[in-house]
Chain A
Amino acid sequence: MRSIERGTSVIEITGLSKTFVKSDKSKKTVEVLRDINVNIRENEFITIVGPSGCGKTTLLRMIAGLIKPDAGTIEVGGRPVEGPSPERAMVFQTFALMPWASALRNVAFGLELRGTPKKEREEIARTLLEKVGLKGFENSLPSELSGGMRQRVGLARALAVNPTVLLMDEPFGGLDEQTKRLMQEELLRIWELERKTVVFVTHSLDEAILLADRCFLMSARPGEINKILDIDLGRPRTRDAELNPKYAAFKKELWEHLRQAQVEDETLARKVNVTE
Chain B
Amino acid sequence: MFRWALGGASLLGGLVCLEVLAVASGQPFYPRPTEISSRLGDLFVQGRIYSSLWRSLQNLFLGFVMSLVSGIGIGLLCGRYELLERTIRPYVNALLTTPTVVFAPIYFAIFGTSRWSIVGLIIHYSVFYLIINSTTAVRAADRGLIEMAMVFGADERQRMRLILLPSALPLIFASMRVSMARSVKGMINGEVLIAVVGLGAINQDFARVFDLSGVFAVATIVVAVAMLLSFVLATADRRINHWVPNVRKS
User: Residues on A close to B: CB < 8 A?
Assistant: 64, 66, 83-86, 88-90, 92, 94, 96, 98-101, 109-110, 112-114, 141, 143, 157, 161
B interface residues, tally (CB under 8 Å): 19
Partner among A86, A96, A100 whose Cβ is within 8 Å of the Cβ of B153: A86
Q: Which of B12-20, B33-41, B110-118, B141-149 contacts A (4 or more CB under 8 A)?
A: B141-149
User: Which residue on A lies nearest to B245, using beta carbons?
Assistant: A143
**Complex: how many Å from CA A17 to CA B175?**
46
Which of A86, A99, A141 interacts with B152 by CB under 8 Å?
A86
What are 20 A-B interface contacts by the 8 Å CB criterion?
Answer: A64-B151, A66-B151, A84-B151, A84-B153, A85-B151, A86-B151, A88-B151, A94-B144, A96-B144, A99-B243, A99-B244, A100-B241, A109-B152, A110-B152, A113-B149, A113-B158, A114-B153, A143-B243, A161-B152, A161-B153
Contact partners of B243 in chain A: CB under 8 A: 99-101, 141, 143
Cα-based distance from A83 to B156 in the complex (angstroms): 14
Q: How many angstroms between the C-alpha atoms of A93 and B131 in the bound complex?
A: 34
Closest B residue to A154 by beta carbon equals: B148
Q: Would you give the shortest CB distance from B209 to chain A, in whole angstroms?
A: 54
> For A101, what are the chain B residues with a Cβ–Cβ distance below 8 Å?
243
Q: Total A-B residue pairs with C-beta atoms closer than 8 Å?
A: 56
* A113 engages B154 (CB within 8 Å): yes
The residue of chain B having its C-beta at the shortest distance from the C-beta of A93 within the complex is B144
Q: With an 8 A cutoff between CB atoms, is B121 at the interface?
A: no
The CB with the most chain A CB atoms within 10 A, among B149, B166, B243, B245, is that of: B243
Report the Cα distance A64→B148, complex, angstroms. Answer: 11
Chain B CB within 10 Å, residue with most, of A84, A89, A114: A84
* A113 CA / B148 CA spacing, docked (Å): 12
Q: Chain B residue with minimal CB distance to A161?
A: B152
The chain B residue with its CB closest to the CB of A142 is B243
Q: Kindly state whether residue B229 has any CB partner on chain A within 8 Å.
A: no
Q: Taking A88-B151, A109-B149 as given, write out 19 further A-B residue pairs in contact, using a Cβ cutoff of 8 Å, ordered by the A residue number.
A: A66-B147, A83-B150, A84-B150, A84-B151, A84-B153, A89-B152, A90-B151, A92-B144, A94-B144, A96-B145, A96-B147, A98-B145, A98-B162, A99-B245, A109-B152, A113-B149, A113-B153, A113-B154, A141-B243
Prevailing SS type, chain A contact patch: loop
Q: Which 9 A-B pairs have the closest CB atoms?
A: A96-B148, A110-B152, A100-B243, A84-B151, A84-B150, A86-B153, A143-B245, A96-B144, A113-B153
Interface check B53, CB cutoff 8 A: no
Name the residue of chain B whose CB is nearest to the CB of A96: B148
CA distance A263 to B163 in the complex (A): 42
Contacts of B148 in A (CB 8 A): 90, 92, 96
CA distance A26 to B88 in the complex (A): 31
- In Å, the complex CA distance between A89 and B150 comes to 10
Q: Smallest CB–CB gap between A31 and chain B, Å?
A: 24
Interface of B is mostly: helix
In the complex, per-residue mask of B219-250: 1 if CB is within 8 Å of any chain A CB, else 0:
00000000000000000000001011100000
Q: Which residues of A contact B145 (CB under 8 A)?
A: 96, 98
CB distance from A141 to the nearest CB of B (A): 5
Chain B residues numbered 111-169 whose CB sits less than 8 Å from any CB in chain A: 142, 144-145, 147-154, 158, 162-163, 166
Q: Tell me the complex Cα distance, A208–B15, Å.
A: 71
Q: B residues within 8 A CB of A112?
A: 162
Report chain A residues within 8 Å CB of B154: 113
| A220 CB to nearest B CB, Å | 26
Q: Cβ of B166 and Cβ of A89 under 8 Å apart?
A: no
Cα A113 to Cα B158 in complex, Å, equals 8
Question: How far is B241's CA from A109's CA once the two chains are assembled, in angstroms?
Answer: 19
Residues in A with CB closer than 8 Å to B166 are 98, 100
Question: What's the least CB distance linking A34 to chain B, in Å?
Answer: 25
Q: What residues of chain B lie closer than 8 Å to A94, measured between beta carbons?
A: 144
Chain A residues positioned under 8 Å from B150 (CB to CB): 66, 83-84
A85 to B147, alpha carbons, bound, how many Å?
Answer: 11
Whole-angstrom CA separation of A83 from B147 in the bound complex: 11
Which of B151, B162, B163: most chain A CB closer than 10 A?
B151
On chain A, the residues within 8 Å of B149 by CB distance are 109, 113
Chain B residue numbers with a CB within 8 Å of A110 are 152-153
CA distance A92 to B151 in the complex (A): 11
Chain A residues near B152 (CB, 8 Å)?
A: 86, 89, 109-110, 113, 157, 161
Closest partner residue, chain B, to A106 (CB atom): B148
Is A89 touching B151 in the complex (CB atoms < 8 A)?
yes
Please give, as numbers and ranges, the residues of chain B lying within 8 Å of A157 by CB-CB distance. 152
Residues on the B chain within 8 Å of A161, using CB:
152-153
Collect the chain B residues with CB atoms within 8 Å of residue A83's CB: 150
Q: What's the least CB distance linking A7 to chain B, in Å?
A: 27
A99 and B141 CA atoms in complex are apart in Å by 12
Q: Which residues of B sit under 8 angstroms from A84, Cβ to Cβ?
A: 147, 150-151, 153
